Structure 1
Amino acid sequence: MTPRPHWLFGDQLGPHFLSPPHGGPDAQAPVVMIEARSVLSRRRFHRAKAHLVLSAMRHRAAELGDRVTYVRSRTYAEGLEQALGRRVSHRSDAHHGSPKPARRPDGSPRLTVCHPTSRRALDFVGALDGVEILPARGFLVPHDEFAAWADRGTGRGLRLEGFYRWVRERHDLLMDGDGPTGGRWNLDQDNREPPPRGHDTLDVRAPWRPREDSIDEEVRHDLDRWERDGEVSFVGRDGPRLFPATRHEALSALRHFVTHRLPDFGRYEDAMLTADPVMSHSLLSAPLNLGLLDPAECVERAEQAYRAGDAPLNSVEGFVRQIAGWREYVWHLYWHFGEDYRHRNALRHTAPLPDWFLGLDADVVTARCLSTVLAQVRDTGWTHHIPRLMVLGSRALQDGWDPAAVTDWFHRCFVDGYDWVMLPNVVGMSQYADGGLMTSKPYTSGGAYIHRMSDLCGPCAYRPTDRTGDHACPYTAGYWAFLHRHRARLAANHRTAQAVKGLDRLKDLPELLDAAARRGDTPP
């Protein structure tokens, strides 16, 4: 019997999604790929993100050659029907029959697909008759193993640190015998240095960047045409592609990072420099989330660099924690918490996102930190985790923006943003909308933190120490206004109680709150 076709989604592009062992597709399975324009027309994505995804899909199709049936269609349903030459019925109407049965003569499904990365996609394929959903790939921990770990942790919470140690032990990552290499599980305290003063950039090799080709030219032409025809609308700019779109490019980026940038990654992991938005970061989140890299190969290469004496332990541990810890943790919480998690709003924040933020209009923003970071998103669709959390997310939290709208914005505007990525990161980590299911406190601060960890405050029109007046820092004022607005809840939290007590020492609190109330949608 001929092998069943295997459907590849646009974030399942690496070879590990086609390898047959352990519940994979048939060894020589023909491949189906569907480029559905409806995905881009439903919401206003960043133009660079749309370019990257389409470029990666078309590059993968070119690599697969005659093995793939690549369909460009309006919707997934139409594309699937065109690819298979028949209608695939939904389970609810399967009993009515079909001219061409959805199942093979032996009763097995006619099509396989690896577990999709979003609930919407999973619901779609799960409702189709004749489609077998294979286990998820592209992650270190299977769903059933996480479920078993979570059951054991009932009552103690599902905190990252416990999960991270469990993954390290289970996969023998940075372990010496039964204990962590170097004697400590977490070297985060060594990775919080401010940027070197007097330097505009870090003294490290520039990140690896791709070279565009004819496929990128074709993608850009199509996006231009779709915009002209009114089929889609984008935000942001689509300059030269900055992130890998092929397996070969992704491996080149990984090798370059481990060899040239990993040694300096750790100490400045949380720092920001105006002229150096990438610092020592890997820029591997986009190819990882497209499925071009497998997380195991990333952390194993990093550990090999440490064992060979080519990178310090604090840098390697920080990188391993991001991938084997945080990335895995976020992936599994997305599924563990369920669909209702999307609607969590413990702080009852309902303010709409202002137009200047939705449109990435960095030029109307006075606060230098926010203007700089918003411009980075506008121009590249990327910033590293500290600007995301402590500049963009903190602004949204302090101003009380609707967390669902903030989640959608991050999903649309970042090249590495997917539903599974942004839902826990924004609802749980950034906006504290889950009330502490994921983190033990809200992550926000005054201007002093940004001043200490960056060079962004020096030329700014605002002063990080000023709460009121013409030079009041919107982050400093916003921090105290946020504490006041949620005083009762935060006073009962041992991690924020001391900060709340500080409100009683602020003689200018009424003036501060009045200014915050009058600001409205005005850019800070």
Structure 2
Amino acid sequence: MVVAGAGGRLGLVLGDQLSFDLELLKVLDPVHDTLLMAEVDSEARYVRHHPQKILLIFSAMRHFAERLREQGWRVIYVKLDDPDNSGSLPGELRRWQTALGAAQLHVTECGEWRLEQALRDAGLPLTVHVDRRFLCSREAFRDWAAGRTSLRMEYFYREMRRQSGLLLEPDGRPCGGTWNLDADNRKALPRGLRGPFAARFGHDAITREVLQLVGQRFSDHYGDLARFDYPVTHEQAQELWQHFLDFSLAAFGDYQDAMAEGEPFLFHARISAALNIGLLDVRQLCADVERAYRENRVALNAAEGFIRQLIGWREYVRGIYWLRMPEYAELNGLGNTRALPEFYWSGATDMRCMSQAIGQTLELGYAHHIQRLMVTGNFALLAGIAPKAICDWYLAVYLDAFDWVELPNTLGMVMHADGGYLGSKPYCASGRYIQRMSDYCGGCRYRVDQATGSDACPFNALYWHFLIRHQEQLGGNPRLALTYRNLQRMDAPRRDAIWQRGEELLARLDAGEPL
């Protein structure tokens, strides 16, 4: 234990900053300075985080602290059940600044505006370092956005490709002659095709200790601890990544949008949680994927589709977040007020697609991007759920969810609550889309080929109900022109019947009834 009066500088390492490449570790001196890591109740409870998410972060933090000590760093590690734990990160910084007599406090940019503001408001002498784990700094994104009338991801992505040199020909043209192969990433899963076996990781003594702590302290949080098998060290994260490269990347390009019953992972990497807390490096991941393409081990649509997710979408939503916070979190462009249905916390619904996506979320803390966008997110959009309610749910239940990535994706992409600032159209769909991209509908009690009647798929009537009630606002959107023309061609009796079915479904939600 570090004793009072040790002096030197004090550096705070957060639970989502478990990287040896932090600027903080380059500035501070292991001989004279001290690192602080703390498990605090305020961070574990500001939303009801999935117990596996808390377990992942606390276990990874403890493993990282041990590695830092092995490298010669002096580390103060405050466990959640420490009787002197102040319960907040500003409180721990203040406590240990006093105990050490540290004149300088060093931190890395936070991933969440809420926490960064709390640290700044604490009146502490902070030196804040840029988080260089990202390719595009906050300032660089702000410079890119300045003066633009449109901040579409595609233009940002092309700039990131040019800067990084990824998937470019010697003359600077994109490999394959086109920047974006998204149209080649949407194949439905052939009947009988399934993903490879999942890579799983056992529990060592550290993880077992944290597992017991989380089970005792967070039993009131929704989600199951039994299936936790995620990597908690850099070495394990590399094993998970290599598993993806070996067994899944080649098929990822074709089937990244596909969904299948009982197949939560299919050909997805499942590395976003490890990446977001610092156990993996985005530059290495992109280099590995590009190498696989250059060596003809994977097709271009697989390599480009994966790299686009990392240096395009991931960096883009972070830029939007820091450009627009804090007012961005309060946007509600469609005026939604409905409460989140209780079945989001239980999976108890007859809608097979929803029960599958929610069930695996509660069991694993995981769902891939189409399950989030076009199943649980699509339903929230069509049902008019209040943006804050669904944003808090996504932030709570997914292991990879941190505010900088979750909020723009949910509020902007899923809920269109920013009025089209992030996405040019609402990503709304009827049950037909889910039928095309999954096998969920075959085992569902609802009929995906029907829009009215008690057996009709709720997505169908809610889809048209959403478009009708927002026609004044969305009718002029060019990307919805064909949809609204189809609505206009619908005969009055059918349109009225669909509207009434939608009204009935929404009334059941308001009454707290499951669908």
Mapped pair 1:517 → 2:503: yes
Q: Match of 1:303?
A: 290
In structure 2, which of residues 321, 329, 336 is the aligned counterpart of residue 334 of structure 1?
321
Mapped pair 1:30 → 2:34: yes
For residues 57-102 of structure 1, the C-alpha deviation after alignment (integer angstroms, 9 at most, x for no partner) is 1111222236211013222233223433449xxxxxxxxxxxx5x6
Q: Is the 8 A contact 1:490 1:500 kept in 2?
A: no
In structure 2, which of residues 102, 108, 111 is the aligned counterpart of residue 117 of structure 1?
111
For residues 348-377 of structure 1, the C-alpha deviation after alignment (integer angstroms, 9 at most, x for no partner) is 0111112222xx211x30011111111011
In structure 2, which of residues 278, 289, 293 is the aligned counterpart of residue 291 of structure 1?
278
SS of match in other structure, 1:173: coil
Q: Match of 1:158?
A: 151
Q: Match of 2:19?
A: 14
Q: Match of 1:43?
A: 47
Q: Is the 8 A contact 2:231 2:274 kept in 1?
A: yes
Change (3 A) 1:293 1:468: same
Q: Is the 8 A contact 1:347 1:435 kept in 2?
A: yes
The offset of 1:26, in angstroms, is 4.1
The offset of 1:200, in angstroms, is 5.6
Q: How far apart are the structure 2 equivalents of 1:426 and 1:495?
A: 20
Q: Match of 1:422?
A: 406
Q: How far apart are the structure 1 equivalents of 2:356 and 2:111?
A: 32
Q: Match of 1:435?
A: 419
SS of match in other structure, 1:445: coil
Which stretch shifts more, 489-498 or 318-327?
489-498
- Residue ranges of structure 2 left out of the alignment (5+ in a row): 1-5, 80-84
Q: Match of 2:94?
A: 81
Mapped pair 1:349 → 2:336: yes
SS of match in other structure, 1:392: helix
For residues 471-493 of structure 1, the C-alpha deviation after alignment (integer angstroms, 9 at most, x for no partner) is 21111111011111101122110
In structure 2, which of residues 471, 484, 492 is the aligned counterpart of residue 487 of structure 1?
471
Q: Match of 1:91?
A: none
SS of match in other structure, 2:337: coil
For residues 491-521 of structure 1, the C-alpha deviation after alignment (integer angstroms, 9 at most, x for no partner) is 1101112212222314322222222222231
Q: Is the 8 A contact 1:250 1:293 kept in 2?
A: yes
Q: How far apart are the structure 2 equivalents of 1:116 and 1:78?
A: 16
Q: Is the 8 A contact 2:223 2:365 kept in 1?
A: yes
In structure 1, which of residues 395, 399, 411 is the aligned counterpart of residue 395 of structure 2?
411
Q: Match of 1:457?
A: 441
Q: Is the 8 A contact 1:31 1:67 kept in 2?
A: yes
The offset of 1:39, in angstroms, is 1.8
Q: Which amino acid aligns with 1:151?
A: A
Q: Match of 1:387?
A: 371
Q: Match of 2:307?
A: 320
For residues 313-356 of structure 1, the C-alpha deviation after alignment (integer angstroms, 9 at most, x for no partner) is 11010000000110000111100112111111111011111222
**TM-score normalized with structure 2 length:** 0.91
Q: Match of 1:469?
A: 453
Q: How far apart are the structure 2 equivalents of 1:249 and 1:431?
A: 35
Q: Match of 1:90?
A: none
Q: Is the 8 A contact 1:200 1:273 kept in 2?
A: no
Q: Match of 2:76?
A: 69
Mapped pair 1:243 → 2:230: yes
Q: Match of 1:94?
A: none
Mapped pair 1:59 → 2:50: no
Q: Match of 1:215?
A: 206
Q: Is the 8 A contact 2:387 2:415 kept in 1?
A: yes
Q: Is the 8 A contact 2:113 2:325 kept in 1?
A: no
Q: Match of 1:92?
A: none
In structure 1, which of residues 255, 258, 263 is the aligned counterpart of residue 250 of structure 2?
263
Q: Match of 2:132?
A: 137
Mapped pair 1:225 → 2:232: no
Q: Match of 1:361?
A: 346
For residues 172-217 of structure 1, the C-alpha deviation after alignment (integer angstroms, 9 at most, x for no partner) is 11111211011110111111100012x1623xx3232222111111
- Residue ranges of structure 1 left out of the alignment (5+ in a row): 88-99, 104-109
Q: Which amino acid aligns with 1:214?
A: A
Q: How far apart are the structure 1 equivalents of 2:8 and 2:244?
A: 39
In structure 1, which of residues 182, 186, 193 is the aligned counterpart of residue 180 of structure 2?
186
The offset of 1:55, in angstroms, is 1.1
Q: Is the 8 A contact 1:490 1:497 kept in 2?
A: no
Please tell me the root mean square deviation across aligned C-alpha atoms, in Å: 1.8
Q: How far apart are the structure 2 equivalents of 1:419 and 1:68?
A: 27
SS of match in other structure, 1:238: coil
Q: How far apart are the structure 2 equivalents of 1:25 and 1:207?
A: 39
For residues 268-305 of structure 1, the C-alpha deviation after alignment (integer angstroms, 9 at most, x for no partner) is 01000112110100111000111111211111111111
The offset of 1:42, in angstroms, is 3.2
Q: Which amino acid aligns with 1:194?
A: A
In structure 2, which of residues 260, 268, 275 is the aligned counterpart of residue 281 of structure 1?
268
Mapped pair 1:252 → 2:235: no
Q: Is the 8 A contact 2:90 2:119 kept in 1?
A: no
For residues 363-409 of structure 1, the C-alpha deviation after alignment (integer angstroms, 9 at most, x for no partner) is x3001111111101110111000010000001101110001111111
Q: How far apart are the structure 1 equivalents of 2:200 and 2:19?
A: 19
The offset of 1:435, in angstroms, is 0.7
Q: Aligned pair count?
A: 491
**Identical columns (%):** 36
Q: How far apart are the structure 1 equivalents of 2:92 and 2:212?
A: 21
Q: Match of 2:160?
A: 167
Which stretch shifts more, 41-50 or 411-420?
41-50
Q: Is the 8 A contact 2:48 2:396 kept in 1?
A: yes
Which stretch shifts more, 68-77 or 132-141?
68-77
Q: Is the 8 A contact 2:346 2:358 kept in 1?
A: yes
Which stretch shifts more, 119-128 or 25-34?
25-34
Q: How far apart are the structure 1 equivalents of 2:215 and 2:266?
A: 32
For residues 5-64 of structure 1, the C-alpha deviation after alignment (integer angstroms, 9 at most, x for no partner) is 32100000011126755xx44465431101111222333221111111111111112222
Q: Which amino acid aligns with 1:71?
A: V
For residues 430-466 of structure 1, the C-alpha deviation after alignment (integer angstroms, 9 at most, x for no partner) is 0000110011100010111111111111121112120
Q: How far apart are the structure 1 equivalents of 2:120 and 2:252?
A: 41
**TM-score normalized with structure 1 length:** 0.90
Change (3 A) 1:18 1:247: farther
Q: Which amino acid aligns with 1:125?
A: L
Q: Which amino acid aligns with 1:317?
A: E
Which stretch shifts more, 321-330 or 208-217?
208-217
Change (3 A) 1:227 1:292: closer
Which stretch shifts more, 489-498 or 36-45?
36-45
